A and B are shown apart, each in its own frame.
Chain A
Amino acid sequence: MNEYLWLIPALPLLGFVLNGLVAPRFGKGFVKVVGPGVVGLSFALSIAAFCEMLQAPGQSITQHAFTWLESGGLYVPIAFVVDRLSGLYILIVTGVGFLIHIYSVGYMGDDDEYAFWRFFAYLNLFLFFMLLLVLGSSFLLLFVGWEGVGLCSYLLIGYYFDKDSAATAAKKAFVVNRIGDFGFIVATLLIFMNFGTLEFAEVNARAPGVLAAGGGLVTAITLLLFLGATGKSAQIPLYVWLPDAMEGPTPVSALIHAATMVTAGLYLVARMSGLFVLAPTTMAVVAIIGAATAFFAATIGMAQYDIKRVLAYSTVSQLGYMFMAMGVGAFMAGIFHVMTHAFFKALLFLGSGSVIHAMHHEQDMRRMGGLLKHMPITGYTYIIGALAIGGVPLFTAGFFSKDEILWQSFASPAGHPLLWAVGAVTALMTAFYMFRTVALTFFGESRVDKHTAEHLHESPWTMTLPLSVLAVLSIVGGWIGIPHVLGHGVGIGNALEHYFEGFFAKVPAEVAHHEASTELLLMGLTSVLALGCMYGAYVLFSRNLARAEALKKALSPLQKLLEKKYFIDELYEWVVIKPVYYTSKLLLWRLVDVRIIDGMVNGVGNGVRHVGGALRIIHNGVIENYAVGIAVGAALIFYFLVY
């Protein structure tokens, strides 16, 4: 009984069609019901599919929907697979997606009707493509979803398209992603050439036989796939689009640019674990890029004033964390963090959205402060999110998943103490900058301007309800992955490890033995330091802003460098964009295009026009001419028949 799988992506598609085509006739109320409604149904079906998958032999259920193409060596079935990886993903995507849809009803409520139905149509369409990406059984379907979510991301970043910065950001996201897509496409072609199929299951299973472990081919394929992943999941060097993507409405940032789409790259790597473990070089690259991105983005996050930008860099940094985990072969730890991160980062974004909503679209934390008493639900849920991402030990979700990654980066056969060190420092910085946002926004003296202060209010229930649900998940969500070293003593197993038992390919190496005491020591060390950083940030930015200013002055050059994001955008501008722009303008456009190609095209065009003119002369409506045409044609036919 799995013929309903297709409905999981189809329902949001139906929502898109209804919202996009019919909604203008029925108005806002219709959209408010249909938009979140279809996603809710999809979520319910996802739960059903998940439960069924757990019972099924091999923990995998497939619906072969139909065969789209069958031609020679090309056989393209359209099939949906729910296994342990995609099962978890659809729960995250539809569950968090459902909450964010509800939230959007409140957040976007003030927009005019035309904008409102457009927003929900795009959001539904996004979920359709995201679910297609996750449920597809082959690279081809994944690619359709992959490009589709990119398109929706573009449309939603540029949602306020009359704002220049939004339009530019949308374009940037699209162009940067195309670079990654190039890698993805080439990798797909290489896989098809070598395997003759694009089905994941078959590629993973046959990979050890078809590709030599550590060989150039498998390294090339996996590196190209990883290039695709760096585009979608915003890793060095292609991360630059994500911070700018914050131009989109905040629910979009929460759904697409924190919880779901940006984890598509991780999904791809995890899905292809069978290929990646064959390429130790790629794995090392993944781990190093991940660690570097985590560190680098965290440093930038410390010096930003726009609350959404801090969260954006935090997202880049956390995604780096997940890649680091996958690079050392700890795919499970990476997926674990994808899940917990989806909860607390969606919570943080939605919380910031609630603040921004109340502040009439003010995003600069220097003009906030003391908001806790005005919006308690938003404030406390946001603090829970910050505690979770900061990794407050023993009860927040972020602690368990982050600790798992740190421990794996240290203890895994492919790990390295240096990776652990970078990860640990990043964790401390994360704790610091998150509490900087907490303190600047919710505590201390109010720096809100008078006019706005009069209208400060808690958000409507459609917004606070999702916040509360996500806050609960940000705490309990981690309890499914309690490490043995903690859980064993009190008799709690690691449910997640049991769940993913034997699912991911393993790095072929001897497992080094580590003392439990080492794990406890490292865990304790990072936890205590993280708590210290949180408290320090809280004290510094809530009560001692003057001292914070002094500190900023003392660190002036470094602070400037961080605030300006290492001038990476400027560097890209000068090294990549300007040269490309001028090459295309002067060489390709002025010379090649205008002179050579246009010359040719115009020549052909003129030629065609002349022919067209000649044809028009013949097509002059005089019937005798037409008869002559027939005679000429007849002559032509006889000519061919005779010769």
Chain B
Amino acid sequence: MSPGFTQTDFLSIMPEMLIFGMGLVVLLFDLFGQGRSTRNLAYLTLLTLGAAGYLDVMLLGQFLPGFGGSVIADDFSIAFELVFLVVCALTVLISIRYLEDRGLNHGEYYALLLFATGGMMVMASGRDLLMIFIGLEILSISSYILCGFLQQDRRSNESALKYFLLGAFATGFLLYGIMLIYGATGSIALQDIRAALADPATFQNPYIWMGLGMLLVGWSFKIALVPFHMWTPDVYEGAPTAVTAFLSTGPKAACFAALVRILFEALAATRAEWQQVFWVLAALTMTVGNVLALHQDNIKRMLAYSSISHAGYILVALVAGGEEALAGVIFYALAYTLMNTGAFAVLILSSAGDRERVNFSDYAGFGYLEPALGAAMFVFMLSLAGIPLTAGFAGKFQIFKAVVGQGYIWLAVIGVLNSVVSIYYYLRISVVMYMQPATGDSISTRPPGSVPLYVAIVGSLAGVLYLGIFPGGWLEMSLHSVSRIITGG
């Protein structure tokens, strides 16, 4: 690496620098603005995210390797970064009320969210194994703290500790895998690894296979694929609800971004092998995730479990490979973010004030008490279940279409069957909302300050319907951004 950095180097990581820098600014503001409302910090965070989004859009269509090729700003990283920014923005919007209700007006919450988001962005734009690993660690450590943010709550502490212990365990696997691959190929840059694997001698080196196995274990843990998912119920349940919404969308998308880059840019030669592994893991993940979600009476837990099976659907796309399928990964990442966070937002809003609503039975007659909120929830559930005219359908359709096109009929059948099963528990809430007599009251007390939640709900709803009715635009962009990944250029 040359000692002098060029302008391109900095240009390529401009959005990331902005996010990290502003994270520090938020911390400082919090320090000197003791006692004042943290609402302003939340708005500052949103502003930062908007600015980063603007920078990302400016970088669209570019191909800017920076810092000796260890990071890159290309359409693939930008597409994912936009998803992360949406995830983070929605999380901020749904957190404000949640934190205020619990008297947790600590500004570092938003700083941590920014750091986590920056970590995810580094994962998507990293082009060597260590850079991706650093991004992942920034994300993970921020997430551990966010999980334990309810300091007085035992479950929240338990959540953070478990996430940390098992995360460290998985990190070990990951780092070990990186080391083995480096040992066999002599490089950590994705392009060089790809080149090295063209040599048959390197390709047959057992270190490659051990390294690949270790990497797969590590990523499977981070994405919570079955059977590496066991930490999720405890972590998701204990974490603050807003953080659960964040964890089930953003980090998973980031891991998929990194995984796609590593597998298709560096390890494409070993595709036949990991394809087989993922086939099995995808089938397991979709099915077990669904079975676990099926019997939940608590909606937060139901959403958390079902996020496992949604990761399974995305994994199906990785099995298929190909431009269509990988575009499906990006498409689904955004679709899932919108519908899942939207549903969490309704949960948080209706649990605000004096009455906690987290169980199915709390929503009896909700559709009549709160027609607009009920309808929004209904649409989110339809989307999660994959009913046409919603983002969820468009995403699943894109993925399963590609999978069938590649000849993995049985995997598609398992996926579609699982979607059918999921209709049961997603629409169960609609049944409760519209077909059972109301027992509670409408959200009678609307303390000021729910506006960000409404913004989150309306925004997600608009997104879900837009992607469902006009999937063309985002799909086009997804397709465009993966084309270079496939060809390895």
Contacts and interface: CB of A to CB of B under 8 A. Distances in A.
Contacts of A69: 397
B217 A630 contact: yes
Contact of B166 (A68, A609, A626): A626
A612 B230 contact: no
Contacts, number: 83
A634 B162 contact: no
A615 B170 CA distance: 21
Contacts of A625: 230
B408 interface: no
B102 to A, nearest CB: 24
Interface string B1-30: 000000000000000000000000000000
Contacts of A629: 227-228, 230
B213 A638 contact: yes
A632 B220 CA distance: 13
B276 interface: yes
Interface of A is mostly: helix
Contacts of A611: 291
B234 interface: yes
A627 B231 CA distance: 9
Contact of B292 (A21, A615, A641, A642): A615
A627 B372 contact: no
A627 B169 contact: yes
B169 A634 contact: no
Nearest to A74: B401
Interface string A87-128: 000000000000000000000000000000000000000000
A615 B227 contact: no
Interface of B is mostly: helix
B441 interface: no
Interface residues of B, number: 39
Which of A609, A615, A632 is the most central at the interface, judged by chain B CB atoms within 10 Å of its CB? A615
Contact of B291 (A612, A632, A636, A641): A612
A66 interface: yes
A642 B216 CA distance: 14
Contact of A608 (B228, B291, B375): B291
Contact of A634 (B173, B280, B288, B371): B173
A193 interface: no
Given A66-B472, A627-B166, A629-B230, A642 B221 contact: no
Interface string B464-480: 00000111100000000
A37 interface: no
B154 interface: no
B469 A641 contact: no
B277 interface: yes
Nearest to B468: A68
Contacts of A638: 213
Contacts of B213: 634, 637-638, 641
Contacts of A623: 162, 165-166
B231 A626 contact: yes
A637 B277 contact: yes
B454 interface: no
B371 A630 contact: no
A640 B220 contact: no
A585 interface: no
A15 B468 CA distance: 21
Contact of B295 (A21, A612, A642): A612
Nearest to A24: B371
A626 B230 CA distance: 6
Contacts of A609: 295
B129 interface: no
A621 B471 CA distance: 41
A633 interface: yes
Interface in A593-643: 608-609, 611-612, 615, 618-619, 621, 623, 625-627, 629-630, 632-634, 636-638, 640-642
A634 B216 CA distance: 8
Interface in A233-286: none
A632 B217 CA distance: 10
A545 interface: no
B212 interface: yes
B233 A619 contact: yes
A633 B209 CA distance: 16
Which of A71, A630, A641 is the most central at the interface, judged by chain B CB atoms within 10 Å of its CB? A630
A265 B217 CA distance: 60
B356 interface: no
A627 B227 CA distance: 11
B227 A66 contact: no
B234 A637 contact: no
A21 B371 contact: yes
A379 interface: no
A493 to B, nearest CB: 45
A21 B371 CA distance: 5
B307 to A, nearest CB: 15
B280 A640 contact: yes
B273 interface: yes
B446 to A, nearest CB: 12
Given A66-B470, A619-B233, A634-B217, A641 B212 contact: yes
Contacts of A56: none
Contacts of B470: 66
Contacts of A24: 371
A67 interface: yes
A625 B229 CA distance: 12
B58 to A, nearest CB: 27
A623 to B, nearest CB: 6
Given A611-B291, A621-B234, A627-B166, A640 B276 contact: yes
A20 interface: yes
A587 B220 CA distance: 49
Contact of A633 (B220, B234, B274, B375): B220
A364 to B, nearest CB: 35
Contact of A71 (B228, B233, B277, B401): B401
A22 interface: yes
B169 A630 contact: yes
A638 B214 CA distance: 9
Which of B209, B230, B292 is the most central at the interface, judged by chain A CB atoms within 10 Å of its CB? B230
Given A20-B371, A621-B234, A630 B292 contact: no
Interface in B210-224: 212-213, 216-217, 220-221
A611 B294 CA distance: 13
Contact of B220 (A22, A612, A637): A637
Given A621-B158, A630-B166, 5 more contacts: A21-B372, A68-B469, A69-B397, A626-B230, A636-B227
11 contacts: A22-B371, A22-B372, A615-B292, A630-B217, A633-B220, A634-B213, A637-B213, A638-B213, A640-B276, A641-B213, A641-B274
Interface of A: 20-22, 24, 66-69, 71, 608-609, 611-612, 615, 618-619, 621, 623, 625-627, 629-630, 632-634, 636-638, 640-642
Interface of B: 158, 162, 165-166, 169-170, 173, 209, 212-213, 216-217, 220-221, 227-228, 230-231, 233-234, 273-274, 276-277, 280, 288, 291-292, 294-295, 371-372, 375, 397, 401, 469-472
List the 4 closest pairs (A to B, CB-CB), nearest first: A626-B230, A633-B227, A21-B372, A634-B217
